[in-house]
Structure 1
Amino acid sequence: MNRILTGLALLIATAAPSFADEDDAFVSFKVLKPEIARVAAVAAMESCRAQGYQVGVMVVDRFGIPQVYVRDRFAGLHVFETARRKAWTAVSFRTSTLDLGAITAPGEMMAGIRELTEPLALGGGLMIEAAGSIVAGIGVSGAPGPDIDERCAQDGIDAIIDDIAF
């Protein structure tokens, strides 16, 4: 009987921490280190450059706060805001901005999103995910089409995949 009570007490003691986590006052999350964000941004810019396009690239953290911005020397003036908004939109809406463009097109149920001031439903913004969590967003602007911007953004993510894979 004494062994049963001791075993039961040990079971309760080891199970308690898993319940305590739910009542904890803090949340843990991951974001990219600035050095890794820079690698992604530069790789995306260089991908577009190799195709003959001058772009700007913004990487934001999981909350949409800018971490890194790079701009090729002849990229247009608009690319800073556009890249930032694409990256922000991807993390905010948890989808690629190219996909968001399709589901917010005029006549679609989500079309009202385009009436908000910050989201930009134009391809070139992607989430950066690791272990099932969003850790950042990347936005590319300046190529002659949103599909090209998105491909360059993906190349930026691909450049850091070994660093963020768990």
Structure 2
Amino acid sequence: MVNADGVVKVQAKGDHSTIHTQDSSFRKAYTVITMGPIFGFDTTSEFVKKAAGNPSAPALVTLPNILLLAGGVAIRIDGEMVAAIGVGGAPGGDKDEACAMDGVKKIASRLTSQ
């Protein structure tokens, strides 16, 4: 999970998961939190779809830590994007993203402004 500044706040790596899942999960969350508010998306799969029709997409993916793979999901409080979860390692980004969404649902009742 990254905060609104794209800084890692929590990261976990499962036993036997490959080393690159740490990077991919971070980059998915980072992509959502840094690009989501600008381009209007809450998941990296949405960004993949938006980028597919965008002639600037090749330039976007050259930016550090931007990754156009499903598996990143925004965390919102009162409509404001405050963090993002990224998941990597499943055989397919759709499964990563479903896992991230389940994580957000799990904490949803605690997501309130103070």
TM-score between the two structures when normalised by the length of structure 1: 0.61
Residues 115-161 of structure 1, C-alpha deviation per residue, up to 9 Å, x if partnerless? Answer: 32321011001110010111111000000111110000000001100
CA distance in 2, matches of 1:152, 1:80: 15
**How far does the alpha carbon of each residue in 1:53-82 deviate from its partner, in whole angstroms, 9 at most, with x for none?**
xxxxxx011110000011111111101111
Residue type of the alignment partner of 1:82? S
Superposed counterparts of 1:63-82, under 5 Å: 63-82=5-24
- Aligned amino acid, residue 123 of structure 1: A
SS at match of 2:91: coil
Name which structure has the greater RCO, CA cutoff 8 Å, separation 6+: 2
| Percent identical residues | 34
AA aligned to 2:7 is I
Match of 1:146 in 2: 93
Q: How many Å apart are 1:165 and its aligned residue? A: 3.9
1:89-104 alignment to 2 at 5 Å? 89-94=31-36, 95=41, 96-104=43-51
Q: How large is the Cα RMSD of the aligned pairs?
A: 1.4
Counterpart-to-counterpart distance in 1, 2:90 and 2:4: 25
In the TM superposition, what are the counterparts of 1:36-55 in structure 2 within 5 Å?
Answer: none
Please state which structure has a larger fraction of its residues in helix: 1
User: Contact conserved, 1:104 with 1:114, CA < 8 A, in 2?
Assistant: no
1:109 positional shift: 2.8
**Counterpart check, 1:113 vs 2:60:** yes
2-structure distance, mates of 1:60, 1:117? 15
How far apart are 1:108 and its partner, in Å?
A: 2.8
Of the two, which has the highest radius of gyration?
1
Among 102, 111, 114, the alignment partner of 1:164 is 111
One-letter identity of the residue aligned with 1:61 = N
State whether structure 2 residue 81 is matched by structure 1 residue 134: yes
Q: 2:4 aligns with which of 62, 70, 75?
A: 62
Q: Which letter does structure 2 place at the counterpart of 1:102?
A: K
Gaps (5+ residues) in structure 1? 1-58
Structure 2: runs of 5+ lacking an equivalent: none
Partner letter of residue 28 of structure 2? K
State how far apart, in whole Å, the 1-side matches of 2:96 and 2:80 are. 23
Looking at structure 2, the residues matched to 64 and 134 of structure 1 have their Cα atoms a distance apart, in angstroms, of 12
Aligned 8 A contact 1:103 1:110 in 2: no
